[in-house]
Structure 1
Amino acid sequence: MAVRIITDSGIDLPGEVDPRVTVVPLGITFGTTTYADGVDLTNDRFYELLIESDELPKTSQATPFSYQQIFEGVRAAGDEAVVVTLSSKLSGTYQSAVTAAADYPEVRVVDGKNVTIGQSLLVLYALRLLDEGRSAAEVADELTAAADRVCLLALLDTLEYLKRGGRIPKSVGTIGELLSIKPVVGVEDGEVVMLGKARGSKNGRNQLHQQVEKYGIDFTMPVLLGYTGLSQKLLRKYLEDNRAIWEGKVAEEDLPIASVGATIGTHVGPNAIALAFFRTN
């Protein structure tokens, strides 16, 4: 009996997705056109549309029916599955999975309490546990216990998309743009929170570095880096400026980097950089 990992396109993983992982696409709507995230909408094309569009796209959760179809395949194969969803406080996708799983005792659902590369860390950890021969029940229990240790931090290049999405008042966003304010955000208890603000990119990178040092990185667990938009340039600059974090622990060229997709990119815009790790503090 095999154990499968099922997740949603709230995750962002570098490279090819492990064949043991099934990704349920969320919907991304620009105007009258709805795309299946990661299926008929690549990250590069998403950011091209985002920059061109006068209005923010709308995102829609995965449906119970989309999960049921996958669960039927799990049952037919005689397998088990662990579902890792993006935070229940950010999307109804978790509830869709729970609703669908009610008729499938071979399926266990875990609230990832995170999104993008933070959610991805739990998927990578789940694969590690499967490599160790753990059962579906053991994997689900371990992920539930580990979710609160995942730390996702991000430095945004602009307040424009938070303003356009109504996440901050327009007046705050306008003043912030004039002053070149770079916000540092994170995920706490499944919700996105503002951790600080800095004037200018260099000060923003310094503040991000301070947050990383505050929480501490457990290098025995998976670590992921991410960027929004079409270029890794700002992320590479951050790594260059803060080389001391990684030196002696992991080679910079071995740090996995993921392109952050539509689920979070819609709200933060291009040129943000992010780090996800299991905290030590």
Structure 2
Amino acid sequence: MGIKIITDSTSDLSQQQANELNVTILPLKVIFPDGEYSDGIDLSPDEFYQKLAQSATLPTTSQLTPEQFLPHFEAAKSANDDVLVITVSSKLSGTYQSAVIAKDMAEYDNIYIIDSTTVTIGLQILVRKATDLIKKGLDIKALVDALEQAKQRIRLFALVESLEYLKKGGRLTGVSALAGTILNIKPIIEVKDGLVGVAAKARGMSGAYNKLVALTEQSGPIDYEDYICTGYSKTKTNMETFLTYANKSLKLSDALESPIGIVVGTHAGPGVCGIAYFQKG
């Protein structure tokens, strides 16, 4: 009897990383006009951003279905294993609800489902923390309690280079997008209470890097004993520049690096750089 961890592809863990962590990743689908693609399987991040740039309309994403969870739940039931599912925020995707439905279908009580209330690199650091706590010998109930507390300390901020994709997604009016472009406004988004919102705006990339650092500092002290992850979409250039600014006041030399995937990337586009970390308790 063991503990099996399942997460979804919005965690932006590669398959190699998932294998090393002994985590199962279930892929969401990305839907372009020319067809559906399984995230991380049929479409790499590079291929996704190339198609995104060429598409006149934004792709959509489809949540995981109960049927995708069910075989894994039934296998765990046969092996008498505990199952821990950690999903993308339930306010961003119906994936959490699909896992709940699949648990009912499996008729197995030893399935524990956590709504991470975050996404991408924020979800990733919670999954990584879960694997560490299992190695420390926590049983499933202690593990769930620890993660429910830990998720409340996750902070995620990201700098968006272009307003184009926010406009395409209907999250910004054409007039606002045009004004923002003329004024060289760069929004900084955050994931808060399970939703993606604008935390601040700055003029120009230099101002945006400084604002991103300031928001990180103002949100509360970083727990440097826990996971910190910096992220990027399509290219590392902006992330590396952010680190140059950040390292004047933040200790990020040991931070993990990860691509930012389709959920944030669909609406924010390429050139995003971000940071996720645990705030000190």
**Is TM (by shorter chain) over 0.5?**
yes
Given that 2:156 and 2:277 are in contact with CA atoms closer than 8 Å, whether structure 1 keeps it comes out as: yes
Match of 1:93 in 2: 95
CA distance in structure 1 between the aligned counterparts of 2:103 and 2:174, rounded to whole angstroms = 41
Given the alignment of the two structures, is residue 150 of structure 1 paired with residue 115 of structure 2, yes or no? no
Shift of 1:246: 4.0
Match of 1:22 in 2: 24
Match of 1:210 in 2: 214
CA distance in structure 1 between the aligned counterparts of 2:99 and 2:269, rounded to whole angstroms = 28
Q: Secondary structure at the match of 1:10?
A: helix
Structure 1 segments unaligned to the other structure (5+ residues):
none
Q: Percent identity?
A: 38
Structure 2 segments unaligned to the other structure (5+ residues):
none
CA distance in structure 1 between the aligned counterparts of 2:42 and 2:139, rounded to whole angstroms = 34
Given the alignment of the two structures, is residue 118 of structure 1 paired with residue 119 of structure 2, yes or no? no
CA RMSD of aligned residues (A): 1.4
Aligned partner (choices 205, 230, 233) of residue 228 of structure 1: 233
Match of 1:135 in 2: 139
Instruction: Give the TM-score normalised by the residue count of structure 2.
Output: 0.94
Match of 2:280 in 1: 280
Shift of 1:19: 4.6
Please give the per-residue CA displacement for 1:231-265, whole angstroms capped at 9, x wherever unaligned: 10111111112213444xx6x2x321001111221
Please give the per-residue CA displacement for 1:71-127, whole angstroms capped at 9, x wherever unaligned: 112222221111000001111111111111122211100000000001111101101
Aligned partner (choices 168, 171, 181) of residue 172 of structure 2: 168
Q: Secondary structure at the match of 1:105?
A: coil
Match of 1:260 in 2: 260
Given that 2:12 and 2:259 are in contact with CA atoms closer than 8 Å, whether structure 1 keeps it comes out as: yes
Aligned partner (choices 183, 188, 191) of residue 187 of structure 1: 191
Given that 1:155 and 1:208 are in contact with CA atoms closer than 8 Å, whether structure 2 keeps it comes out as: yes
Report the AA paired with residue 13 of structure 2: L
Instruction: Give the TM-score normalised by the residue count of structure 1.
Output: 0.94
Match of 1:197 in 2: 201
Please give the per-residue CA displacement for 1:171-199, whole angstroms capped at 9, x wherever unaligned: 11121112111101101111111111011
Given that 1:7 and 1:84 are in contact with CA atoms closer than 8 Å, whether structure 2 keeps it comes out as: yes
The number of residue pairs the alignment matches comes to 276
Shift of 1:4: 1.1
Shift of 1:32: 3.4
